[in-house]
């Protein structure tokens, strides 16, 4: 269990910035990209996932959450006609990540199922400038004294210090695999029972830990295991959703020198709790012969869809 983002920040030596970085916001705000032209299609895809995909009166979350994700990815792929390099992406499912690092005197490892991982043929360019990276030296990481920052973490014996993105993937990510760079992680919290799903804060912490893990393993593969401030930071994005509420994240690994809390920090931008729509009414609500709530999607939020699409396009446009 990941109690929260604050703990994940300490574990990963990361400074938090609220909202999305200018590089992503610029994609959303660029009228030349025509994102608004896809809004009606996106609304239609929400209706498809929530209302029409099954004969059931009310589709279960375990069905509509993955279906909505597939529908949104389908819309994103339509942009490859305008931007052919978008076709140089690959979605890998059931991938496991392993990344090991030392923090103060503690050996840490993040490992497990890494959500759905979209890989590309090249890394996303850094979203923070060298000046912004150097400025993180002044940032003081929060401590939890007298509580240990590793509270609630599972303690295990580590016999092998693994650093690997995509081991045990169906495709294996072997040497020479062209789509070898992590781009965006997708986490679908699709359990029907609320207590079986991560709460939004827990989900954001999980997203941060796994984005960091993928970035760290990639950095070590590219630059070796020696702790250092990276000349070329590694950017990995993450999107989490329960089929209605979305979490967006851009993580930039600036340093693999993680033992001390001093010096350059890593950076994460988080845009929290963004509804794609307010309500999906599968059957109309009728009171005293009057329809009080018609069937359909209400409160569709086009900006949430644009954020999803902007993260997909990031690194290409």
Are 179 and 119 spatial neighbours (Cβ–Cβ below 8 Å)? Answer: yes
pLDDT tens series, the chain, 317 aa: 345 899 999 999 999 999 999 999 999 999 988 888 899 999 999 999 998 877 677 789 999 999 999 999 999 999 999 999 999 899 998 888 889 999 998 999 988 887 899 999 999 999 999 999 999 999 999 887 666 666 666 654 444 545 555 444 433 455 667 888 999 999 999 999 989 999 999 999 999 999 999 999 999 999 999 999 999 999 999 999 999 999 999 999 999 999 999 999 999 999 999 999 999 988 778 888 887 788 889 999 999 999 999 999 999 98
- Report the Cα–Cα distance between both ends of the chain, in Å, rounded: 36
pLDDT at 291: 75
What does pTM read for this prediction?
0.91
Contacts of 188 (CB under 8 A, 6+ apart): 65, 66, 69, 115, 116, 240, 241, 242, 243
- Spatial separation of the C-alpha atoms in residues 8 and 236, rounded to whole Å: 16
Q: Where are the domains of the chain?
A: 3-313
pLDDT at 274: 98
Residues in the chain: 317
pLDDT at 287: 84
């Amino acid at each position: 269990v990941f109690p929260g983002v604050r703990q994940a920040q300490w574990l990963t030596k990361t400074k938090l910035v609220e909202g999305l970085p200018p590089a992503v916001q610029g994609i959303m705000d660029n009228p030349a990209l025509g994102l608004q032209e896809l809004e009606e299609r996106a609304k239609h895809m929400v209706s498809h996932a929530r209302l029409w995909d099954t004969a059931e009166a009310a589709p279960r979350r375990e069905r509509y959450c993955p279906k909505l994700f597939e529908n949104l990815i389908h819309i994103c792929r339509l942009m490859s006609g305008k931007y052919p390099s978008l076709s140089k992406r690959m979605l890998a499912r059931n991938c496991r990540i392993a990344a090991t690092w030392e923090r103060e005197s503690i050996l840490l490892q993040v490992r497990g199922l890494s959500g759905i991982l979209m890989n590309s043929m090249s890394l996303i360019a850094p979203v923070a400038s060298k000046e912004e990276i150097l400025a993180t030296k002044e940032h003081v990481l929060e401590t939890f004294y007298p509580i240990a920052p590793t509270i609630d973490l599972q303690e295990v014996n580590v016999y092998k210090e693994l650093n690997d993105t995509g081991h045990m993937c169906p495709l294996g990510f072997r040497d020479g695999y062209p789509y070898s760079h992590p781009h965006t992680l997708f986490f679908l919290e699709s359990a029907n029972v609320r207590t079986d799903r991560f709460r939004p804060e827990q989900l954001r912490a999980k997203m941060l830990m796994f984005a960091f893990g993928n970035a760290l393993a990639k950095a070590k593969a590219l630059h070796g295991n020696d702790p250092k401030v990276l000349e070329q930071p590694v950017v990995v994005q993450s999107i989490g959703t329960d089929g209605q509420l979305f979490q967006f994240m851009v993580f930039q690994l600036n340093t693999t020198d993680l033992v001390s809390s001093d010096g350059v920090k890593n950076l994460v931008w988080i845009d929290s709790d963004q509804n794609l729509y307010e309500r999906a009414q599968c059957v109309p609500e009728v009171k005293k012969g009057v329809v009080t709530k018609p069937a359909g999607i209400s409160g569709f939020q086009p900006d949430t869809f644009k954020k999803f699409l902007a993260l997909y396009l990031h690194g290409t446009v």
